[in-house]
Amino acid sequence: MSLVKFQQALADVVASPQRCIALRQDSSLLDAYDLEPRERQRLLTMVRHEGMSHNCTLYRANRLTPLVRSLPRTCELLADRLTEVLEQFWTEQPDAEVQFKLEAERFGRYILQHGIPGIKDDEHLFYVLREELEGLDDLFGLDNHP
């Protein structure tokens, strides 16, 4: 068994509900992982299980929590655009950062670099985002002074 390849494939599926759904229809998506037949069958069985959607939801909740807790006003201002921005961020940066501050910084930089879909310039949102990013050290009790 190639445990590392199996674990990577499982992690990739859990991190992307779209990939999970696509895999239900097209098992050739697993070809990239060079899995043994037994591993491949296990993954396909897992993907088709009704509980897999819960795994995907928990993963996304774990990625969302640092952002909502660290950048609450930004998330509130994004409102109905938040889901779309998160989808793009998670697609382009699929590896989660386990440290809240670092994940919040990555998300903030992503927004500042890529903007908001359908919005050319939202000065108030960007002001609030920059303010929250600057306050992360205080939020997490980090002292920048020597």
CB 83 within 8 A of CB 47: no
Handedness of CA 78, 79, 81, 86 (dihedral sign): positive
What integer pLDDT is reported at residue 145 of this predicted model?
47
What integer pLDDT is reported at residue 146 of this predicted model?
45
Give the predicted TM-score (pTM) of the model: 0.78
| Residues facing residue 40 across a β-bridge | none
CB 86 within 8 A of CB 65: no
Report the C-alpha gap between 76 and 132 in whole angstroms.
12
User: If you search the block for the tokens 């929250």, which residue do you land on?
Assistant: 132
Q: Over the stretch 112-140, which tens digit does the pLDDT of each residue have? A: 998 887 666 678 899 999 999 999 988 88
| Residues facing residue 116 across a β-bridge | 119
- The mean per-residue pLDDT over the stretch 8-36 comes to 91
What is each CA distance from 63 to 51, 59, 112, in whole angstroms?
A: 19, 6, 19
CB 124 within 8 A of CB 79: no
Q: Over the stretch 5-17, which tens digit does the pLDDT of each residue have? A: 999 999 999 988 8
